[in-house]
Amino acid sequence: MDANILETLFVAVSNGVALFIGAYLARRSAELSGERRAEQEEKMELQRQRREALLERLTLQRRALDEYARMVVRWSSPPVGAPRTKEDDLAADQESIAMYAQMTSAFGSRQFAEQAAATLHAVRAGRGNAQVFPFSVQIASACYQEMIRAMSELEKEIGLPAPRSPARPFLPDEELAKEATRLFSRNVVERSGIDLGMVDQILERVRVNQPEETESSR
């Protein structure tokens, strides 16, 4: 066979193979690109669904927080002079059960929901009871703060922007605790029927006499 013919055949075959390989590689590259795009779109869709689910959970938590605050105010502020009835107790139990279900759905913890419902009973027991009242206020405040903390963590997970200028504590913890104790003490004294003016006079005498006693003890 003529050498030129062989060369021509070789070139033709080589070009055909190259075209075939090129077409295969192009098709495979397009398929891989499509697969990657599909995977990315699926990932983005899952992220979108997850974010929507978290936003829905955050909405449930905000509703639960508002409802909890409403119940605390309602249960800690009974009508003046109104006697406690069995109907009131039944209504309180029903609201406590409803609160338990709402807290479980919103925060995903049955133990937390049980404690939140228990704080409502404590708040109700503390109204008009100077011994129970400080404890009920303390645990209701702790429950409220835990809800705020959980919501803040969820907001971070969702990626919601935090306030650029968040509120800052306006009193040192020690001063706040001292002021809360003073106000509560005055509240207890006022409920007991003791004259607050007389109490203030006694406290003022103690305050004035303290430096003299300190100097005399030196």
Decide if 56 is inside a domain.
yes
- Tens-of-pLDDT digits for all 218 residues of the chain? 555 655 555 555 566 666 667 777 777 778 777 878 888 888 888 888 899 999 999 999 999 999 999 988 888 776 555 566 677 777 777 888 888 999 999 999 999 999 998 888 888 888 777 777 778 888 888 999 999 999 999 999 998 888 788 778 777 777 766 666 666 665 655 555 555 566 566 656 655 665 544 444 44
Decide if 43 is inside a domain.
yes
Decide if 112 is inside a domain.
yes
Decide if 96 is inside a domain.
yes
Alpha helices (H) in the chain, listed in sequence order? 3-76, 86-107, 110-126, 133-158, 173-192, 196-216
Tokens of 94: 């029903």
Decide if 40 is inside a domain.
yes
Cα(126)–Cα(71) distance, rounded to whole angstroms?
14
**pTM over 0.75, yes/no:** no
Q: 121 near 76, Cβ under 8 Å?
A: no
Q: 123 near 72, Cβ under 8 Å?
A: yes
How far CA 50 is from CA of 41, 74, 123, 148, in Å, comes to 14, 36, 37, 21
The number of distinct structural domains making up the chain is 1
Domain that holds residue 41: 7-171
Decide if 208 is inside a domain.
no
Decide if 137 is inside a domain.
yes
Decide if 209 is inside a domain.
no
